[in-house]
Structure formats: structure tokens, C-alpha cells
A and B are shown apart, each in its own frame.
Chain A
């Protein structure tokens, strides 16, 4: 009789309580699962109990803060995050603007644990959270600053351009003439760098100084009786007169016999001796005349060449109008000339004129020869950075900003 397989015969082979006895497979799986749950908790708890909180760090700190690695309490306060007081211990902060609506926490803009990054370079969003729709305290619209700047693309034209300001400087300067002149001493025409020199940081240009930048061509040399002498630049009118008087006096009272080489006391043309001339006042009269001539010359020819003169009621020059050349055109932004000139490359006029267009053609000193924003936009936002902090800063600048803290 062949072997029959029926449902009953199959089912009757099975022990009815097999599922109550735990198979080793199931038992081990349960053990491994329990261990899997408990072991990480134990390991991590041991870290916490031992005070080592390094495993919780989500990433390495920046190089400047590297000393705080493993010492989380230096910056973090339990359950309240990174408090400003902890940053202020090393970083004095200062207020951004007295009308600002709210004070963001340090950590809200500067987030650490990102490895090698520039902490001082927060994203634009931290600026635009206010500047995209700028209001001041009291929730009023800002009156002083552009109201809607949410990216470099929407950055307004620079104020001086927008308001078509003229250069308030009173010094008469014709850039074209200067650049066309051929300088025998140099053997070439003048270049921008002959007068405009960068400061020791390389960022800004030094203010133009007479002594350094003008005197080599614009000496206050005298002619006439006081020829060969030079007046000092920058003195008051009275001081100038004094100086001229000094020159004249010297000229008159010098043992000028040296003219013809003899040592005899000089005789005036009419044969009187010096002492006689002094006694009868003709020296004084000569001096005064020489001074007046020279003063007139200096002011009329030399000073007025570049400056506006202030005159008295009777027309006498009483002084030179203050130059009033602005030291900084854009007070709220930083510009780095050195970053824009490739390192090591000679500064040529072409490089300067690339941004300072119109210099070659400028004849009036009222011309503002700084570029507008479209000159910046050629590169920034296209191939170069255009984030807010590249030019602007949130915190008030420190007295001597070092290279290291530049937002590069």
C-alpha cells in the first residue's frame, strides 16, 4: 500500500505546543536585540558621566576656537545654547546701530562646528533678515538707509552717485593735465601711482599730502628779489608774510659782498653802508616792498594755482580755503585696493582706469572719480563673491583692524 499523504497525517506529526518552546534562533535574536538597545545607552552614558562630551560634537571647531575642543562649557550653557556672555569673554561686541529693532544672538549668525570655515563670514540671510525690509525701533520705516536690500543684485547705487554729489574739495585739480604732462624728471608722463599711494594695509589710498605728492612739482618757489627761496606750504597768511620777511631780511642784511667775492661790507648801490641803510629805514622799506611783492606773487601765482583764496573786504588774501578733500567716500563699506590689484603686478594706469573711468578726461576737481556699483557688478555676483560681509560689517570696526580679521 503506497504511502499516503493526507492533511491529517501531515498535521498529526506536529507537536501541538512547539511554538511555546523558544527555538535557539529566536532566543539569540532576542538577546542580541536587547543588547543592541542597551549597549549604546551604556556607552554613551559612560561618556556623559565621565564628563567627556566630545562625542556629542557635530563637527570640528574652527582653528581659532580649537583650544575649546572637549571643553564644551566654554561656550555652551546647558539647555540654553550658546549665550552671548560666553562669546563676549573674548570678543567685545558693540552695537550695530542704536535704532536696530532687535539684537540677534552671536550664535544665530556665527555657527561653529563646521570645520574649517570663516566664522566671521555669516550668510547674507542674517543681514537681510532686517535689511530686506528695514525698520527701526518703533517699527517705523528706516529713513536713513536703503529699505529693501536682500541681495547684491538689489543693492542700491552708491549714495554719492545716486545723489550726484560733487567733490567738495576746494583744491583745483585737473587730472587730465596731470596725466598728459610729460615729466622730464621721470622721463615719462605721470601715472596714478605717482600721487595716489596705498596705506600700510594696502586697502585704502592715503590722503593726498602736499609734501609727498605735490611738492615735487608744485614748490612754492619765489621769483624776483627773493628768487631761489621757497615758501613753506600750509602756513597761514601771517606766517607766510613772516617767512617772506625773513627771506627779505636775510637777503638785505646778508654780507652779500660775497657777490663779488670780497669780504668788504656790502654797499648799497648808492654807496651807503648797511648800518646807514638800516638807520634811515630804507632797509625796512625794501624789506616791506620785497615782502609785499613776494606775498603777492606767492598768493597770486603759487597758492591760487591750486587753492581758492579767501579775501578780506579789501581784497587781500586772508587765507586758503580748507581743502576739504574727503578722506572716505563710503563710510559704511570697506574696499580693499590690494585685493583688486593682482599681487606682484605693476600698478598701471590701465588697472586704475578699469574702475576709475573718466579720470583721463576729468578736468574739474568737482568730478567724483569713484566708480558706481555697476563697476563692481561686473565681477561681484558673477565670478566674485557678492555676500554682504565682503564689504560691510555688522560689528563696529576695531581701532586697528588687522589683516587677520579681514573677511576674506
Chain B
């Protein structure tokens, strides 16, 4: 989510509540002698407000699960989630009087810090990484389909080379459940003739060799290792080299082959960028749920005293 002009109502509301709370805290905690108590009326008010913010933030899950209820646009819910969570931190600090307290409350502070910090980190990532991905991996596909598309690309490359160099008996890679079906689909996607050439075109042997030695292992690997195809610059050098080895009429095939490899490289890079963009959720989501359940327990337990 990018912070934009449409968040102004949330920001304004949050700033208003923050100002009010700060004023209230300054006034209520003015006496230096009396220790601040989260159970005092003012402290309790802050605690309830902070809990309300956390519940509102957690409600985002509800909206995402209950899609069919159409409870308003999800982007509004996410905006509410972000700004309510931002507000929850000062409210909790006011509720606690900036003290850690006992074992449970100190743990809650730690959980809050981690959850809040990871949330801010995630927000920052969402400002940077989408644009980065758009620029760096224009050939990106759907993340969950990267392996599948990689399989299709592999078969497409094979079909490309087979169309000029005859049948290739390279063993299919272990990965990719779409090997059989993928062949036809890959070929159809390529738009090239599906059937391999009956006999190899003259001068295609170097291409076939290059394919078997370099391109195929790289394409077939689950996680392509460092190779010449890793960088566009070195790939260009390779491409020029291969082109020198084959006659001019096969140059188009070479170009297509390298384009397939470039696409494979990009989707692999996409995988890594995607994990960066979504990895922080592995910290944020469980810690936030832990914070919520512990905070609920704390609220009930503390009120029972």
C-alpha cells in the first residue's frame, strides 16, 4: 500500500486522537510523585483505546476472509489497519506510562515493538519493491506459477532448437509436473511449429551443442545456478558468440532462445524479490496475533485484580 492523498481522513483522525491523548496524558501524569497506573481511570481509557485500535487492525483479516460480504473496499480496510496500528503505539505507551511493568506487560511491550516495527518495515518495502520489480523484471509472471512457467519456458526452448536441429534426447528435468502437457502448451505459446525438424539444418550443430551444454542444464535446474545467463551483459556476449558459430538464417532462433533464457532469468529474480516483498509477513502476522491474544488475556486478567 502506498500512502497517498486518499489516506488524509485516516491521518487527520489519527492525528486528532493522538493530540487529544497526548494532552490527556500530560495533564494526568503531571504529578511527579504519584506513580502512573494503567488501571487508573485515565490509564484505563488509554488501554481501552489501544485495544480498540488493535481490534480494528485485526479486523482486516475478517474483511479478507469474508470477501463475499463486500464490506467496503479492502484498500480502505488496509488504510484503517495501518493508521490504527500507528496510533496504537503511543496509546499503549501512555497506558503503560512509559514503563515496562511486570513480566506479562514487558512481554507485551516487546511484542508490540516487533509487530509495529515489522509493520513499518513492510510498509516501507511496499513503497520500494513494487516499482523495483516493475523495472527489474518486466517479464514477471504469477509467483505461484513460476515453476510451472519455468517448465514451459524450458520446453519452449527445446522446441525452438528442435525445430532447426532435429529431435533432442535430453532427459527432462525432475521438476515440473507439466512436462508432457507443457510441451504442447509451450510450443503453442512459442507460436513455432510444434513438430521437431525431420533433419537438422546445416550449421545447426553448434547451436544444438550449446543448447545441450549450457542452456538446457541452466533452464532445467530448479534454481538456476550462476551462469552466463545470470546477467544480461554476459548473456549478450554469449549470444554474439553463438551467432558467430551458426549461419545467418539461424540467428533468429538464437535470438529467440536467448530471449527465453532472459525470461527464465527474470522470473527467477522475481521469485527472490517476491520473497523480500512478502517475507516480512512471516514475522508480522504471527507476532501480531500473539500480541492480540496476549493483550486480550492481559486486559481480562488485569481487570480481575
Is chain B in direct contact with chain A in the complex (CB below 8 A)?
Answer: yes
Residue numbers of A with Cβ under 8 A of B are 1-4, 9-10, 12-15, 18-19, 21, 23, 25, 28-29, 32-41, 44-45, 48, 54-60, 72, 76, 78-79, 81, 111, 113-115, 117, 121-125, 387
A23 touches B144 (CB 8 A): yes
In-complex Cβ contact of B148 among A2, A18, A78 (8 A): A18
* Cross-chain contact B35 with A111 (CB below 8 angstroms): yes
**CB nearest neighbor in B for A57:** B102
Say how far B177's CB is from chain A's closest CB, in angstroms: 10
Cross-chain pairs A/B with CB under 8 angstroms, 22 sampled:
A3-B255, A10-B141, A13-B141, A13-B148, A14-B142, A18-B142, A18-B144, A21-B144, A29-B285, A32-B286, A37-B293, A45-B297, A55-B103, A57-B102, A58-B302, A78-B304, A79-B304, A111-B37, A114-B37, A122-B33, A122-B34, A124-B33
Are A3 and B281 in touch, CB under 8 angstroms? no
Contact of B104 among A21, A55, A117 (CB under 8 A): A55
B180 beta carbon closer than 8 Å to chain A: no
| CB-CB under 8 A for A38 and B293, given A29-B285, A56-B305 | yes
Could you tell me the distance between the alpha carbons of A41 and B297 in the complex, rounded to whole angstroms?
Answer: 7
* Smallest CB separation, B110 vs chain A (Å): 12
CA distance A4 to B188 in the complex (A): 11
What is the bound-complex CA distance between A68 and B143, given in angstroms? 58
Cβ-closest chain B residue relative to A387: B33
Tell me if B113 is interfacial: C-beta within 8 Å of chain A. Answer: no
Q: Which residues of B contact A122 (CB under 8 A)?
A: 33-34
- CB of B289 within 8 A of CB of A37, answer yes
B292 within 8 A of A: yes
The answer to whether B104 and A3 have CB atoms under 8 Å apart is: no
Is B31 in contact with A58, judged by CB distance below 8 angstroms?
no
Give the residues from 59 to 116 in chain B that come closer than 8 angstroms, CB to CB, to chain A.
99, 101-105
Q: Which of B31, B105, B144, B256 has most A Cβ within 10 Å?
A: B144
User: Known contacts A13-B189, A14-B145, A58-B39; can you find 17 more A-B pairs with CB under 8 A?
Assistant: A2-B255, A3-B255, A3-B259, A9-B188, A9-B189, A15-B145, A23-B144, A29-B285, A32-B286, A37-B292, A38-B293, A40-B293, A78-B305, A79-B303, A79-B304, A113-B101, A122-B34
Nearest Cβ on chain A to B115's Cβ, whole angstroms: 10
Asked whether, in the complex, the Cβ of B255 is within 8 Å of the Cβ of A29, the reply is: no
B304–A58 touching, CB < 8 Å? no
| B141 CB contact (under 8 Å) in A14, A29, A387 | A14
Q: What 0/1 pattern do residues 229 to 244 of B give for CB contact below 8 A with A? A: 0000000000000000
Given A12-B185, A44-B297, A58-B105: A72 touches B305 (CB 8 Å cut-off)? yes
From B188, which residue of chain A is reached at the shortest CB distance?
Answer: A12
Distance in angstroms from A65 CB to nearest chain B CB is 14
Q: How far is the CB of A8 from chain B (nearest CB, A)?
A: 9
Chain A residues, Cβ within 8 Å of B260:
3
A40 touches B305 (CB 8 A): no
Chain A nearest CB from B61 CB (Å) reads: 9
In the complex, A29→B280 CA distance in Å? 11
Contact call A58/B37, Cβ cutoff below 8 A:
yes
A117 and B35 contacting across the interface, CB-CB below 8 Å? yes
Please give, as numbers and ranges, the residues of chain B lying within 8 Å of A40 by CB-CB distance. Answer: 290, 293-294, 297
Is B305 within 8 A of A81, CB to CB?
yes
- Contact partner of A1 (CB less than 8 A), chosen from B188, B192, B282, is B192
Query: A39 to chain B: which residues have CB within 8 Å?
Result: 290
| Cα-based distance from A125 to B33 in the complex (angstroms) | 10
- CB-CB nearest in chain B for A118: B33
Tell me the minimal C-beta distance from A44 to chain B in angstroms. Answer: 5
Q: How far is the CA of A122 from the CA of B294 in the complex (A)?
A: 32
Expressed in whole angstroms, the minimum distance between the Cβ of A56 and any Cβ of chain B is 5
In the docked arrangement, what's the CA distance between A64 and B39, Å?
A: 22
Question: What 0/1 pattern do residues 257 to 296 of B give for CB contact below 8 A with A?
Answer: 0011000000000000001001001100111111011100
In the assembly, what is the distance between CA of A240 and CA of B188, in Å?
Answer: 139
Is B38 among interface residues, defined by CB-CB distance under 8 A? yes
B249 at the interface (CB under 8 A from A): no
Residue of B nearest to A42 (CB): B293
- B278: chain A residues within 8 A (beta carbon): 25
CB of B252 within 8 A of chain A?
yes
A146 to chain B, nearest CB (A): 21
Q: Decide if B305 touches A4 in the complex (CB within 8 Å).
A: no
Closest to B108 in A: A40
Task: Assess whether B102 is in contact with A19, with CB atoms less than 8 Å apart.
Answer: no
